[in-house]
Amino acid sequence: MKRSKFIVLLLAAIPLAKFAKANAAIFNGGKGFKVKAGEGRLHGHIQLKGVNANIIDVKVSGRDTDGGLAIFEQTGMSPKRGTPLHVHHYQDEIFRVLEGEYYFQVGEEKHHLKTGDTIFLPSKVPHAWTQVSEIGKMTVIVQPAGKLEDFFLTMAALKGDPSKDEIAKIFAANGMEVVGPPLELE
């Protein structure tokens, strides 16, 4: 084979190799798993503190997907509370409301979501949400996984009420940036 053809074939194979690695990571080496309703895969229930008192169950960890994605189920325990306006620098998020009602801000737009609704939050766009109903539950998909699972574990381990500066530092340590206050209900 001539050198020029070899180089062309080699360059053509690089994207395929990346696809194969990504595909293998997503499918956890070909091994699936089941996570029962009401359970978390690795940590049990993660009881958040600080921003809100919600419960997070890890359904698919970034460790399961080589960082490709993570899926969480969030049980809302904090009516009329939510997240500060913040940015994920590297992750897109998808929220699907399983129960209850939420109010979201994505950029300058605001949306009311009810059971069955889904919203996409692109990376690098400021967003926040607030739980409207007394009871709420959402599936949260993050792609790539980033450090959101570590963020949840850090928030669960807090002792006492953190200051706004402490919360901003925790966000920053996990690939996010607080850029404004929590979303007020209208």
Where does 61-108 show beta strands of DSSP type E?
70-76, 84-88, 92-99, 101-106
What SS3 class is residue 1? coil
pLDDT of amino acid 13: 46
CB contact at 8 A, 26 and 64: no
pLDDT-derived band at 1 (thresholds 50, 70, 90) equals low
Domain assignments of the chain as residue spans, ordered by start: 1-30, 46-182
The pTM assigned to this predicted structure is 0.81
**What mean pLDDT is predicted for residues 70-98?**
95
**What mean pLDDT is predicted for residues 151-162?**
89
Strand 127-131 with 55-60, pairing = unpaired
| Residue in 73, 93, 94 with CA at minimum distance from that of residue 139 | 73
**Partner residues linked to 177 by β-bridges:** 87
**What mean pLDDT is predicted for residues 141-147?**
96
Of 11-15, 131-135, 143-147, the least confident: 11-15
Mean pLDDT, the chain, as a whole number? 86
Per-position DSSP letters for 69-81, written without gaps between them? -EEEEEEE--TT-
Provide CATH code, domain 46-182.
2.60.120.10
Q: Count other Cβ atoms within 10 Å, centred on residue 12.
A: 9
Q: Please give the order of strands across the beta sheet that includes 136-143.
A: 46-47, 55-60, 70-76, 136-143, 92-99, 118-121
**Partner residues linked to 54 by β-bridges:** none
